[in-house]
Structure 1
Amino acid sequence: MSFLDLLTHYPGLLPSIVIGVLLVFWLLTIVGLLDHDSFGPDWIGGHHHHDVDGLPDMLLALGLDRLPFSIVVSGVAFYWWLLTMLATALLLPLMPLPLWLGGTVVLAATLVVAVLLASVSLRPLKPVFAVNDNGTRETVLGRTCRILTLSVEENFGQAEVVVGNGTHLTLQVYASAPNRLARDTQAVVLSFDAQRRRYLVAEYEPP
């Protein structure tokens, strides 16, 4: 079976579609049309929403509770896709089951393993995203920052601020509309909205 066949036939087709959607998402993020928190619930800072069918508790047990939803999904999807491709090529032909049943078993088993692999490989990234503690808030408030996204809306935007000894922090930000904030423009951090888990910024006017 060729690689193209693996991509376009069951069971490999399902994780391939997920990877394709995520690639589009990250391309839009790179060009500044989206930020990595623009979909899914937000568990940065350890705020667990226990009304989501126990999913945050599972993330807590796996050590993924302080990572953005997009990072967790991307990590799991990558491993799911890779393992499914390998299992479909190497193991599925050996299984004495109909294709639909064997494929379903492969998808379920590889998804479980993918979650475990993602928990191991993504866990070291937690300190990168755990920047919303009280010390960090007080450090960045009142500082100027550089906008990273193409625009800043009332529920969307990212900015970079330099603190301490040159440490660069990426903040999830928002601003009142309309505004002239765009990529590489300067803004000032005014306050932190605990409900939105975002910093309010405004156009910076040099003295």
Structure 2
Amino acid sequence: MSSFAAVAFAYPTAIYSTLLGIVLCYWLLAMFGLVDFEHGGLELDGDVGDIGTLASYLVAFGLGGVPFSVVVSLLTLIAWTLCSLAALWLLPLVPTVPLRLAAGTAVLLGAFALALPIAARAVRPMRRLFVTHGATTNAELVGQRCRILTNSVDERFGRAEVDSRGSTYNIRVVADTPNTLTRGASAIVIDYDPANARYRVQAAD
């Protein structure tokens, strides 16, 4: 245990240990709600023109689709683990101090290079957790077809069902009378009244 601790705070692992400490502090702050891990940092998506150079490289390596903080945390943890193991098992075999420094630099860079594909595989199942779904607003339903659910629709009462973005919404509707809107009839949403939270509809034909 003491030898591993010595390796963790010696070159080259000490660099990743410092980064890992920063990451741990960040997640502690996130646990107490002081930072927003999902929206407080840079988002990684396919549009590399709007993000920094580092983030664009990470996207190119298949690390997109999750918050930047998650990617950095994974890379740091994986690179720290690989670097620690290499420093514990391989670097003691290097005979001289100058060669050990050179080998340590190679381990430092190699650990990061190996961490990229490993983190990319770890990120894949996480992407579904961070999919952003745009909410359907009241205005977006105006102009769409709906199906009447009540026996009739008048100026005070009515219900209809409308499909939008793969979801089905049960909405309150009103219509001028007389009309042909009965149960199962097709109608078009023509307006929304925010004061009464009702949609005005008319027969689709």
Aligned: 1:18 with 2:19: yes
What is the CA–CA distance in structure 2 between the aligned matches of 1:54 and 1:13, rounded to whole Å? Answer: 22
Q: How far is 1:52 from its partner?
A: 2.7
Residue 137 of structure 1: aligned partner: 135
Residue 77 of structure 1: aligned partner: 76
Q: How far is 1:96 from its partner?
A: 5.0
**Cα 1:101/1:51, change in 2 over 3 Å:** same
- Runs of 4+ aligned structure 1 residues displaced above 6 Å come to none
1:60-99 equivalences under 5 Å are: 60-96=59-95, 98=98, 99=100
What is the CA–CA distance in structure 2 between the aligned matches of 1:96 and 1:115, rounded to whole Å? Answer: 30
Q: Give the secondary structure class of the aligned counterpart of 1:138.
A: coil
Residue 37 of structure 2: aligned partner: 36
Contact residue 64 and residue 126 of structure 1 kept, 8 A? no
Contact residue 39 and residue 69 of structure 1 kept, 8 A? no
What is the CA–CA distance in structure 2 between the aligned matches of 1:39 and 1:8, rounded to whole Å? Answer: 30
How many residues are treated as equivalent by the alignment?
139
* Paired residue type of 2:106: V
**Cα 1:10/1:36, change in 2 over 3 Å:** same
Unmatched 5+ stretches in structure 2: 140-166, 168-205
* Paired residue type of 1:88: A
Could you say which structure has the greater relative contact order, defined with CA pairs below 8 angstroms and 6 or more residues apart? 1
Percent identity reads 33
Give me the CA root mean square deviation.
2.9
Please tell me whether Structure 1 or Structure 2 has the larger radius of gyration of its CA atoms.
Answer: 2
Q: Give the secondary structure class of the aligned counterpart of 1:2.
A: helix
Unmatched 5+ stretches in structure 1: 142-163, 165-207
TM-score (norm 1): 0.59
Q: Deviations over 1:27-54 (max 9, x none)?
A: 010011111146542225x443356337
What is the CA–CA distance in structure 1 between the aligned matches of 2:41 and 2:49, rounded to whole Å? Answer: 12
* Paired residue type of 2:115: A
Q: Deviations over 1:18-76 (max 9, x none)?
A: 000100000010011111146542225x44335633742x3333322211100000000
